[in-house]
């Protein structure tokens, strides 16, 4: 059944190709095999995800890993993000995270079930951060940023983010994104990481750049942050 669904989904994805967008996408992923990028826009992928759910084909598609095309992986992220059953979601994440090989698929994965902030989730995030796998770590940082900088914030979480040990660009960029967002939402907890130089120079300066560019950070905070550049 999964093989039949795989071919059906590929046929639909091929039918949705936009050659101009495909050329644009290939420039975003210069290290990727160009033949693995079809060029399907995100709104079309989301519409296809709705169709697969209505036709009860989503589960078969999600069970068929690994995928070949970038758009198949992005479609997988969209479908898995809509899973509301936490145990099924966690099982799906365990299968899918090792297959993610690019930032777009990683950042598309935003599970709606996490909005309820289950108490067991931070422990799982801790394990993702410790995994050493580029996009699993990036995903864990994204979850910490998306769901644990508001009412579920804890002072230990910025320590988790600053403690990520990686030279990977897509990990360091997410650490900077996390702290720039923290400066908008939890300024008093986040600013010591810059004042005390707890981040490496590149991440430190990228954090300040992103915070200064953010409309969510007050001007008086931006003025002070500019003085902290290294």
Long-range contacts of 44-51, Cβ-Cβ distance < 8 Å, separation of 24 or more: 44/16, 44/18, 45/16, 45/71, 45/74, 45/75, 45/78, 46/78, 48/9, 48/12, 48/13, 48/16, 48/75, 49/75, 49/78, 49/79, 49/82, 51/12
**DSSP E strand stretches across 87-229:** none
Burial-class residue 198 by CB neighbours within 10 Å (0-12, 13-18, 19+). Answer: middle
What lies within 8 Å, CB to CB, of 106 at 6+ separation is: 77, 100, 135, 138, 139, 142, 170
Burial-class residue 120 by CB neighbours within 10 Å (0-12, 13-18, 19+). Answer: exposed
Q: What percent of the chain has pLDDT over 90?
A: 90
Contact 41, 17 (CB under 8 A): no
pLDDT confidence of residue 52? 97
**DSSP E strand stretches across the chain:** none
pLDDT confidence of residue 31? 77
Per-residue pLDDT tens over the stretch 154-178: 999 999 999 999 999 999 999 999 9
125-151 b/e (C-beta count within 10 Å ≥ 16 → b): beebbeeebbbbbbbbbbbbbebbbee
What lies within 8 Å, CB to CB, of 220 at 6+ separation is: none
pLDDT confidence of residue 28? 87
Cα–Cα distances in Å, from 15 out to 29, 76, 99, 104, 107?
A: 22, 18, 25, 21, 25
**Does the reported pTM lie above 0.85?**
yes
Low-confidence ranges of the chain (pLDDT < 70): 1-2
What lies within 8 Å, CB to CB, of 6 at 6+ separation is: 61, 64
Our measurement of the distance from residue 122's CA atom to the centroid of its chain's CA atoms, rounded to an integer in Å, reads: 16
What lies within 8 Å, CB to CB, of 176 at 6+ separation is: 203, 206, 207, 209, 210
pLDDT confidence of residue 33? 85
pLDDT confidence of residue 2? 62
């Amino acid at each position: 059944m999964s093989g039949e669904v795989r071919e059906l989904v590929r046929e639909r994805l091929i039918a949705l190709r936009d050659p101009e967008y495909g050329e644009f996408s290939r420039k975003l992923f210069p290290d990727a095999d160009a033949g693995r990028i079809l060029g399907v826009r995100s709104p079309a992928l989301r519409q296809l995800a709705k169709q697969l759910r209505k036709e009860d084909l989503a589960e078969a598609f999600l069970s068929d890993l690994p995928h070949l095309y970038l758009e198949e992986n992005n479609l997988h992220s969209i479908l898995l993000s809509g899973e509301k059953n936490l145990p099924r979601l966690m099982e799906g994440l365990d299968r899918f995270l090792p297959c993610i090989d690019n930032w777009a698929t990683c950042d598309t994965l935003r599970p709606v079930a996490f909005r309820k902030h289950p108490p067991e989730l931070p422990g799982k995030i801790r394990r993702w951060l410790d995994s050493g796998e580029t996009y699993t770590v990036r995903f864990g940082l994204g979850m910490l940023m998306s769901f644990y900088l508001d009412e579920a914030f804890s002072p230990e979480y910025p320590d988790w983010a600053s403690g990520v040990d990686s030279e990977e660009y897509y990990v360091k960029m997410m650490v900077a994104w996390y702290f720039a967002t923290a400066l908008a939402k939890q300024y008093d907890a986040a600013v010591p990481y810059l004042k005390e130089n707890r981040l490496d120079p590149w991440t430190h300066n990228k954090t300040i750049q992103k915070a200064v560019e953010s409309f969510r950070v007050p001007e008086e905070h931006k003025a002070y942050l500019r003085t902290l550049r290294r």
